[in-house]
Amino acid sequence: MVCRVKFELINVSKIKNGKPILRNINLQFLSGSKYTILGPSGSGKTTLLRLLNRMEEPSSGEILFDGENIKNIPVTKLRKKVGMVFQIPVVFEGTVEDNLLVPYSIKGIPPDKEEIKKALTLSGLKESFLSQRAMDLSVGEKQRLNLARALLNNPEVLLLDEPTSALDYETALTLLDSVNELNRVLGLTIIMVTHQVEHMRILNGSAIYIENGTVLDKKTTQSRALI
């Protein structure tokens, strides 16, 4: 199997209001692989994810997507390929179906009912949810709805920023199962921030440990994250 590099960060630093947040990050994310980003609160994990879909720009260094500098990729195009799921799910008024029509209205194309059903099922929600009011869903179901909405852009990468932190123990585990399934069935590259070592184990990807804006070496990562 050819391991293509999906994302490459070359000497990436980020300074906000004069404060260094990320320092000289060099990383490669391989296509179809899974990654867990760990580290204490405030270490720069969210900032790193936000750089990958251009919600923020690096202060210096380069980020390549499929070998191309992301500065040269239109933001809308990049964000279709690089979906993001946040800590707190984002839900709009209306039914679950209304929420899943949003990607189509953004793209200006007619909705594809079969595609919607497939995204829903892959995200672990039954078809019967389509007619439910989205605001009435549990947090776990809302997070699944967010996954489904991201899938409708046919992404190649999913960025997940502590997607389970608002969920109870069991719901968190089943959501992680769905994420693993998306990687297995669709070959999505998964980059997930968590601070729970158990979640890292379930995702079963490579661990990246960030502390004070710096990526720790493999050995220190193991001692920090695997005890």
Ligand X SMILES: Nc1ncnc2c1ncn2[C@@H]1O[C@H](COP(=O)(O)OP(=O)(O)O)[C@@H](O)[C@H]1O
Q: Which residues are at the interface with Mg ion (CB under 5 A)?
A: 46
Minimal distance in Å, beta carbon 45 to Mg ion? 5
Q: Where does this chain bind ligand X (CB under 6 A)?
A: 16-17, 19, 21, 39, 41-47
94, interface contact from ligand X, Mg ion, none, CB < 5-8 Å by kind: none
User: Residue 88 and residue 85: Cα distance in Å, rounded?
Assistant: 8
39, interface contact from Mg ion, ligand X, none, CB < 5-8 Å by kind: ligand X
User: Residue 193 and residue 159: Cα distance in Å, rounded?
Assistant: 8
| Nearest CB to ligand X, comparing residues 20 and 111 | 20
187, interface contact from ligand X, Mg ion, none, CB < 5-8 Å by kind: none
Minimal distance in Å, beta carbon 27 to ligand X? 15
192: closest CA among 151, 162, 149?
Answer: 162
Using CB atoms, what's the residue nearest to Mg ion?
Answer: 46
> Which segments within 91-222 are labelled E, that is strand?
157-161, 189-193, 206-211, 214-215
Non-local CB neighbours of 1 within 8 Å, separated by 6+ positions: none
62 forms beta bridges with: 10
Minimal distance in Å, beta carbon 55 to ligand X? 11
